[in-house]
């Protein structure tokens, strides 16, 4: 064959199938653009200058890997949909004398055209919008954005390399499909239906068991750290179970509908149910993919938005005092006069900086991460943050919190307890081998480590905790206060205090077993939290946008490809007297029945995932259940509106193909 004919055939193949190629190319451009934006921000010189820049770059890098992996899978899926529609066309090329090598050359040129247009458009848009994206990220983080064009040659090179490899693999997969098919099978591929899968009940039952298991994990798990480990297991179970349910369960639903005479024997339902059951195995896989995408979008957007919205409230809970100092060391030193040495150093540092302290809070405590079993404190396990405080320190905190001279008193065999997130309901507690009668308080005296790990909190206030010295070797000393300085200066002061105290609290100065020395400021905490929550929100928006594009394209391709398959069948029905109005009703019945399932299943997944999402968010010191529920409700409502719009547009595309 003449070489000049290959580009003509390639361009003709793209232009004649523009209904399939135009959305595909636009999606390729979108995914490349998003990837280039993320990589440009990673290589942006302004990011390291932001507070928490290293953590932000890590979040962006993680997002780039997720985006690249998903793009590869998604583009493979969409290209396979295009190739299925074009198999008849390629089979005709083979019948007319073109060898499979010649067809491979045509496919190569087509892929080069698609890749060139996609890369050029994606890189250009990504480069142009990178500065705007940086401005959006800076706004989310309450930082200042740069000006001028933001160009990263590393992002351009890496984007070209990553998506170049993806397009190469897509081309090789297309050649493979042609290479191992003969001309007859290619031509008849559009008319080849799929048999309903066998063993539907067993597969469906397996799917139900997997989903029930994942739901059980989400509902029953209590420890946030354990939830983090089981989360990915539950996600995998939900994915496999969803595919099993949609592939086999959908066939069973069709069979049930066929046995319903009042539903099945109607013109608009008879055709749609028959066609759905004819190829439900493939429909089920596509619908399961849409359901998984819907679930991922809802989880990402709702959780990241919820964390971001609650940032300042979370920081206020995490940092009750604007500036704080805490030292974890040998318990004997914590419950001695040595803490006065540390406090004197803090006062000297404040005086040196010309800063005065007020609203001071100080307490000592034994601390352990353990468990409560049958009313006995144990250091086994990692389920509860346990604190033991002297009554003297508790009364000082009580006066500070309540604003009056209110105080508590205890007998030698009594203990005051505060419990949050535990199921402890006893009237006695055993600590350090001694059993105490308990009374409850609703005031949490702990000012540091508040819900940092998301674990339950259990505080024991004793009249004389010295009995614990032989059993619990380490303790904490906390000192918090307000200042007359601004937030930026308080942050600098906290760094100076850490540096100075590390040189003060040493073995040479008589301190033993020092585990850590720390100083925090609320202003610094706000910056750090905004870096994390804002970065997660930004990545959530980027990935959700790509996932939404993917979901829309999957729905569109399903509608168009099935429209071409159903066209001949509806032509026959039209010839035997079925009107366009009846065809429209049948189409609406089929599409509505099929496409209402993914968002409905996604909402069910989200409802059962709520407990484990709440546990995971508690690792970020988030505990506002109502805000999480409200955010999820708003996200679901917006998503349903968008999904309804997509359903309307794609159903019109299906009808246009069938009616043509």
pLDDT at 216: 92
Q: By three-state DSSP, how is residue 225 classified?
A: helix
pLDDT at 405: 61
**pLDDT surpasses 50 at 490:** yes
Can you tell me the distance from the alpha carbon of 133 to that of 42, in angstroms, rounded to the nearest whole number?
12
What mean pLDDT do residues 637-647 have? 85
pLDDT in tens, 36-80: 988 888 887 666 666 666 777 787 888 888 888 888 887 887 787
What mean pLDDT do residues 426-437 have? 87
pLDDT at 419: 87
pLDDT in tens, 167-190: 999 888 888 877 766 655 555 555
pLDDT at 116: 93
Domain ranges of the chain: 1-192, 196-322+530-660, 323-526
Place of tokens 């232009």: 15
Per-residue pLDDT band at 608 (split at 50, 70, 90): very high
**pLDDT surpasses 50 at 533:** yes
**pLDDT surpasses 70 at 358:** yes
pTM for this entry:
0.74
How would you label 42-70 residue by residue, b for 16+ Cβ within 10 Å and e otherwise?
A: bbbebbeebbbbeebbebbeebbeebbeb
pLDDT at 196: 47
Residues 6+ apart with CB under 8 A from 134: 41, 44, 46, 145, 146, 150
pLDDT at 43: 81
Q: Which of 278, 269, 263 is nearest to 588 (CA)?
A: 269
What mean pLDDT do residues 391-401 have? 86
What mean pLDDT do residues 622-637 have? 88
pLDDT at 197: 45
pLDDT at 45: 65
Phi then psi dihedrals of residue 40, to 5 deg = -65, -40
Can you tell me the distance from the alpha carbon of 643 to that of 97, in angstroms, rounded to the nearest whole number?
46
Torsion of CA 626, 628, 631, 632, to 10 degrees: -110
- Decide: 399 and 446 in contact? Cβ < 8 Å: no
pLDDT at 199: 47
pLDDT at 267: 55
Lowest mean pLDDT among 116-120, 148-152, 215-219: 148-152
Question: What distances in angstroms separate CA 68 from CA 35, 71, 631, one per listed residue?
Answer: 7, 5, 28
Lowest mean pLDDT among 45-54, 99-108, 130-139, 315-324: 45-54
pLDDT at 578: 67
- Decide: 298 and 458 in contact? Cβ < 8 Å: no
Can you tell me the distance from the alpha carbon of 649 to that of 659, in angstroms, rounded to the nearest whole number?
15
pLDDT at 193: 46
Can you tell me the distance from the alpha carbon of 88 to that of 109, in angstroms, rounded to the nearest whole number?
19
Name residue 477's beta-bridge partners. 327, 364
pLDDT at 451: 46
pLDDT-above-90 percentage for the chain: 9
Mean pLDDT of the chain: 80
pLDDT in tens, 11-39: 888 888 887 888 888 888 988 988 898 88
Per-residue pLDDT band at 119 (split at 50, 70, 90): very high
pLDDT in tens, 206-262: 888 999 999 999 888 877 777 777 888 888 899 888 888 887 776 676 667 666 666
Place of tokens 């505060």: 418
């Amino acid at each position: 064959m003449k070489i000049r004919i290959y580009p003509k055939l390639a361009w003709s193949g793209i232009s004649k199938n523009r209904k399939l190629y135009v959305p595909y190319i636009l999606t390729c451009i979108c995914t490349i653009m998003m990837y280039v934006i993320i990589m440009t921000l990673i290589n942006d010189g302004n990011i390291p200058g932001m507070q928490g820049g290293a953590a932000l770059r890590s979040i962006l890098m993680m997002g780039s890997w997720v985006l690249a992996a998903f793009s590869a899978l998604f583009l493979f899926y969409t290209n396979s949909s295009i190739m299925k529609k074009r198999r008849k066309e390629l089979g005709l090329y083979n019948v007319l004398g073109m060898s499979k090598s010649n067809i491979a050359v045509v496919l190569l040129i087509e892929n080069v055209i698609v890749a060139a247009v996609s890369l050029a458009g994606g890189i250009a848009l990504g480069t142009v919008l990178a500065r705007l994206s940086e401005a959006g990220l800076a706004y989310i983080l309450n930082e200042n954005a740069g000006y001028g064009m933001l160009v990263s040659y590393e992002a351009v090179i890496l984007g070209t390399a990553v998506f170049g490899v993806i397009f190469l693999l897509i081309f090789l997969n297309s050649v493979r499909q042609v290479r191992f098919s003969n001309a007859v099978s290619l031509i008849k591929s559009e008319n080849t239906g799929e048999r309903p899968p066998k063993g539907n009940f067993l597969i469906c039952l397996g799917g139900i068991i997997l989903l029930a298991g994942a739901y059980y994990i989400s509902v029953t798990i209590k420890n946030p750290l354990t939830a983090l480990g089981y989360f990915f297991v539950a996600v995998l179970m939900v994915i496999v179970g969803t595919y099993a349910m949609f592939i086999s369960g959908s066939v069973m639903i069709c069979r049930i509908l066929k046995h319903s005479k009042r539903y099945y024997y109607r013109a608009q339902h008879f055709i749609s149910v028959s066609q759905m059951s004819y190829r439900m195995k493939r429909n089920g896989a596509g619908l399961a993919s849409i359901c998984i995408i819907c679930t991922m979008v809802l989880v990402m957007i709702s959780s990241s938005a919820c964390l971001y919205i609650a940032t300042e409230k979370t920081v206020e809970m995490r940092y009750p005092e604007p500036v704080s100092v805490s030292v974890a060391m040998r318990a004997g030193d914590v419950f001695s006069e040595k803490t006065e040495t540390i406090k004197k150093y803090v006062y000297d540092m404040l005086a040196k900086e010309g800063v005065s302290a007020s609203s001071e809070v100080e307490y000592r405590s034994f601390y352990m991460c353990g468990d409560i079993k049958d009313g006995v404190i144990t250091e086994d396990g990692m389920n509860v943050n346990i604190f033991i405080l002297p009554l003297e320190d508790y009364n000082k905190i009580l006066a500070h919190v309540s604003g009056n001279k209110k105080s508590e008193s205890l007998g030698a065999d009594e203990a005051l307890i505060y419990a949050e997130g535990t199921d402890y309901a006893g009237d006695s507690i055993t600590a350090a081998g001694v059993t105490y009668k308990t009374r409850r308080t609703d005031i949490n005296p702990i000012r540091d480590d508040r819900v940092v790990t998301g674990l339950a909190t259990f505080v024991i206030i004793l009249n004389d905790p010295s009995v614990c010295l032989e059993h619990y070797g380490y303790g904490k000393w906390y000192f918090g206060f307000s200042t007359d300085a601004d937030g930026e200066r308080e942050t600098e002061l906290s760094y100076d205090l850490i540096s100075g105290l590390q040189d003060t609290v040493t073995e040479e100065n008589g301190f033993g077993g020092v585990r850590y020395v720390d100083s925090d400021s609320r202003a610094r905490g706000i910056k750090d939290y905004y870096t994390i929550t804002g970065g997660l929100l930004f990545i959530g928006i980027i990935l959700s946008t790509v996932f939404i594009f993917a979901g829309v394209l999957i729905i569109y391709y399903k509608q168009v490809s099935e429209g071409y398959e159903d066209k001949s069948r509806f032509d026959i029905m039209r010839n035997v007297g079925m009107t366009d109005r009846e065809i429209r009703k049948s189409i609406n019945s089929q599409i509505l029945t099929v496409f209402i399932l993914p968002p409905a299943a996604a909402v069910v997944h989200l409802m059962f995932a709520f407990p484990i999402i709440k546990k995971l968010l508690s690792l970020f010191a988030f505990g506002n259940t109502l805000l999480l529920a409200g955010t999820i409700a708003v996200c679901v409502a917006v998503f349903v509106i968008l999904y309804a719009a997509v359903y309307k547009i794609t159903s019109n595309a299906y009808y246009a193909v069938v009616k043509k």
